[in-house]
């Protein structure tokens, strides 16, 4: 059975401002760009791949307004079928993921691709419902390629544990992904590992800090090694580090880096877990989560995501600088860099200062996202899918 996999390459075509783009992903990948260039579309397209593994891809696209809204927004070729294509390549060694690309020869193990379009006039689907057209999962061993999962329209097959091809054996709806529907690990262990890996990804972009935010509330006292995507169990994550793992060295250092002299206070949980912050100006007064400023609370939420007892195999952060005081951006960059030694991280930001902090630390070269001929592109990205000194021009 294949071990845990890291993302090494990502591709998207026909999705919103992404006409056709493919690029390598490293251990720490940082994208910076102005508002409106399509940074969030890159982030969202990767999130849709996870939705495919969860079996919710059609629903996610429908929630965006359906295919009419999600499909490529630029000039279209007449009579060409409406298609959104998403793909991801994965490899076993996180140190092998690099900015120069990740090829089959370098150790690419699996590649997953899914194509989504509109229903045929005779199909059993709603008029504008996203429909899975094709889906493939291939395994690469040196120059040898084996198809583990293949779906064309309603017909789907897989390669079982004995290496034999067999029908999927599931009556798939047109809106269901085969990867999401296949949940029996015994039938194809490699497919199961890929699905489990993709479901483990975490996307942190919706940690609210308003007065009714879940981050401000106590939560159930349950051992919690990994922060939920919405941050609802932040207090339990901190309690797990303090009272179960009994190791807060990294957490204390990162909080001290951002708020000199401050200390995180996590009472022994009863039925619920809570936390507060002790400030140097008020040494006898603990400020509970409900009293903290939006920026302070958001920073603590990011600390919970990046410093938990057990990190997911991949973390994506969309504009983590939101609500933060500018003086917190350098500490945030240092915290992300430290976390990237434990997991793979993707950061999307419009903050030049945050991007500069990554560059100054020598951890990664931030990639600038731009609009080129109406499509989202990345400076230095060549049509071959790797980074060079200059952009290649479209033919």
Q: Summarize pLDDT for 193-231 with one digit per residue, the tens.
A: 899 999 999 999 988 999 999 999 999 999 999 999 999
Question: Per residue in 240-257, pLDDT tens?
Answer: 999 999 999 999 999 999
Q: In the 8-state DSSP scheme, what is residue 224?
A: -
Lowest mean pLDDT across 137-146, 236-245, 326-335, 356-365: 137-146
Question: Per residue in 52-80, pLDDT tens?
Answer: 999 999 999 999 988 888 999 888 887 78
Task: Average the pLDDT over 84-91 and give the result.
Answer: 95
Residues 260, 346: contact at Cβ < 8 Å?
no
Closest CA to 4 of 190, 144, 166: 190
User: What pLDDT shows up at residue 104?
Assistant: 42
String of DSSP letters for 81-104: PPEEEEEEEEES-GGG--TT---T
Q: State the pLDDT confidence band at 334, using cuts at 50, 70 and 90.
A: very high
Lowest mean pLDDT across 134-138, 233-237, 346-350, 385-389: 385-389
Q: Does the pLDDT value for residue 94 go beyond 60?
A: no
Lowest mean pLDDT across 15-24, 167-176, 279-288: 167-176
The three-point CA angle 323-324-328 to 5° equals 175
Residues 368, 379: contact at Cβ < 8 Å?
yes
User: What pLDDT shows up at residue 54?
Assistant: 96
Percent of the chain with pLDDT over 70: 91
Looking at the structure, give the CATH architecture of the domain made up of residues 204-361: 3-Layer(aba) Sandwich (3.40)
pTM beyond 0.85, yes or no: yes
Residues 358, 333: contact at Cβ < 8 Å?
yes
């Amino acid at each position: 059975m294949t071990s845990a996999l890291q993302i090494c390459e990502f591709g998207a075509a026909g999705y919103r401002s992404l006409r056709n783009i493919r690029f390598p992903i490293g251990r720490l990948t940082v994208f910076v760009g102005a508002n409106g260039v399509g940074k969030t579309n890159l982030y969202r397209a990767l999130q849709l791949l996870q939705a495919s593994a969860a079996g919710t891809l059609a629903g996610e696209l429908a929630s965006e307004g359906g295919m009419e809204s999600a499909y490529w927004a630029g000039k279209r070729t007449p009579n060409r079928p409406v298609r959104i294509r998403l793909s991801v390549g994965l490899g076993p060694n996180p140190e092998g993921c690099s900015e120069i690309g990740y090829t089959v020869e370098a150790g690419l193990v699996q590649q997953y691709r899914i194509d989504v379009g509109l229903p045929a006039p005779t199909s059993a689907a709603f008029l504008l419902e996203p429909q899975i057209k094709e889906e493939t999962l291939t395994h690469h061993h040196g120059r040898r390629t084996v198809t583990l999962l293949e779906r064309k329209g309603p017909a789907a097959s897989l390669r079982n544990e004995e290496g034999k091809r067999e029908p999927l054996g599931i009556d798939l709806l047109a809106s269901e992904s085969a990867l999401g529907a296949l949940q029996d690990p015994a039938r194809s262990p490699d497919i199961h590992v890929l699905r489990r890996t993709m479901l483990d990804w975490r996307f942190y972009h919706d940690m609210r800090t308003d007065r009714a935010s879940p981050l401000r509330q106590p939560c159930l006292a349950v051992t919690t090694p990994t922060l939920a995507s919405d941050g609802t169990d932040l207090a339990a994550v901190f309690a797990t580090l303090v009272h179960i793992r009994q190791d807060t060295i990294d957490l204390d250092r990162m909080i001290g880096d951002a708020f000199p002299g401050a200390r995180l206070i996590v009472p022994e949980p009863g039925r619920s877990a809570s936390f507060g912050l002790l400030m140097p100006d008020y040494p006898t007064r603990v400020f509970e989560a409900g009293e903290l400023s939006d920026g302070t609370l958001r920073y603590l939420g990011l600390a919970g995501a990046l410093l938990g007892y057990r990190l997911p195999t991949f973390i994506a952060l969309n504009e983590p600088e939101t609500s933060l005081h500018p003086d917190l951006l350098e500490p945030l960059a240092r915290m992300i860099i430290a976390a990237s030694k434990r997991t793979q991280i993707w950061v999307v930001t419009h903050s030049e200062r945050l991007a500069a902090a990554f560059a100054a630390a020598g951890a990664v070269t931030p990639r600038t996202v731009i609009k080129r001929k109406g499509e989202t592109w990345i400076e230095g990205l060549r049509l071959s899918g790797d980074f060079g000194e200059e952009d290649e021009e479209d033919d």
